[in-house]
């Protein structure tokens, strides 16, 4: 997250493309527009919700808004939700009945999953047939992301705290399904169709709390700007197949 307006202007001037958040919002616009559920009755899940959700922008169109995360939030930390469920998305297939949701968002979660294919199978089962999934994650085909993921966890944890807003945001990273082809294959295997994968340079924004990490991120974003498969961040959207 970049707080200095000057840094944001530099990113725009240098042609570092849309933010991951902008791509997620575009995908969510399509998900809400394409949902067969009547407007204002959409049942939405933020899977791995943390403390902030891009779905809050759609709150007026959501009839029931559920958040799920492996970590229970502090009391009153998620006032935008109707319901919170403490769930390991990888292993708790029975957390929600099949066909519970019209729209599922899973934002910057995949890199943390111990078993991403299982998590995607669960999300697919919890979606109604024709329901829409939007997910974002990091792309290990970017050399900086690859290097970051290759660092042993005991060294990476203090580094993570440098670029994250707080220690609580520095979740352990696995990176088991983190390139565009692997995300596409896992979505197909899990029973999704109409899969669209986009990438963008998001390092300068993600690492922008401190000037040295911001500059490093900017160099990383500029270096991969013209190679879509190597940009730092993946945003995917897909539709739960009718069986």
Ligand X SMILES: C[S@@+](CC[C@H](N)C(=O)[O-])C[C@H]1O[C@@H](n2cnc3c(N)ncnc32)[C@H](O)[C@@H]1O
Note the residues at the interface with ligand X (CB under 6 A).
48-50, 52, 69-71, 87-90, 107-109, 112-113, 171
* Cβ atoms 10, 93 nearer than 8 A: no
Sheet holding 42-47, edge to edge: 83-86, 62-69, 42-47, 101-107, 127-138, 233-240, 192-200
Structure tokens at 103: 């729209």
Two tokens, residue 204: 């300068």
Q: Which two tokens stand for residue 184?
A: 């596409």
Nearest approach, Cβ of residue 169 and ligand X (Å)? 6
- 43 has which bridge partners? 64
What does the DSSP assignment read for 81-103? Answer: -SEEEE--TTT-TTSS-TT-EEE
Give the shortest CB-87-to-ligand X separation in angstroms: 6
CB-closest chain residue to ligand X: 50
CB-nearer residue toward ligand X: 117 or 129: 117
Minimum separation from the CB atom of position 10 to ligand X (A): 24
**What is the nearest approach in angstroms of ligand X to the Cβ of residue 7?**
20
115 or 225: whose CB is closer to ligand X? Answer: 115
108 versus 126: smaller Cβ distance to ligand X: 108
CB of residue 176 to ligand X, shortest distance in Å = 11
User: How far apart, in whole angstroms, are the C-alpha atoms of residue 183 and residue 176?
Assistant: 10
Query: Which residue, 87 or 239, is less far from ligand X as judged by CB?
Result: 87
Report d(CA 17, CA 23) in Å as an integer. Answer: 10
Q: Which is nearer to ligand X, 50 or 191 (CB)?
A: 50
């Amino acid at each position: 997250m970049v707080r200095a307006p000057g840094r944001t202007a530099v990113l725009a001037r240098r042609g570092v493309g849309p933010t991951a958040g902008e791509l997620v919002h575009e995908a969510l616009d399509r998900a809400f527009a394409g949902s067969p559920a009547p407007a204002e009755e959409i049942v939405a899940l933020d899977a791995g919700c943390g403390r902030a959700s891009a779905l809050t922008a759609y709150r007026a169109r959501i009839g029931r808004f559920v958040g799920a995360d492996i970590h229970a939030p502090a009391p009153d930390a998620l006032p935008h939700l109707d319901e919170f469920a403490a769930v390991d998305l990888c292993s708790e297939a029975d957390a929600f009945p099949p066909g519970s949701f019209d729209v599922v968002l899973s934002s910057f979660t995949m890199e943390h999953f111990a078993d991403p294919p299982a998590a995607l199978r669960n999300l697919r089962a919890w979606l109604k047939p024709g329901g829409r999934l939007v997910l974002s994650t990091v792309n290990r085909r970017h050399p900086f992301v690859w290097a970051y993921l290759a660092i042993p966890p005991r060294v990476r944890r203090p580094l993570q705290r440098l670029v994250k807003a707080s220690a609580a945001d520095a979740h352990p990273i696995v990176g088991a399904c983190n390139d565009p082809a692997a995300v596409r294959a896992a979505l197909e295997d899990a029973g999704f169709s109409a899969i669209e994968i986009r990438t963008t340079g998001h390092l300068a924004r993600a690492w922008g709390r401190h000037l040295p990490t911001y500059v490093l991120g900017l160099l990383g974003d500029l270096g991969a700007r013209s190679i879509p498969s190597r940009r730092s961040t993946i945003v995917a959207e897909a539709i739960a197949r009718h069986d």
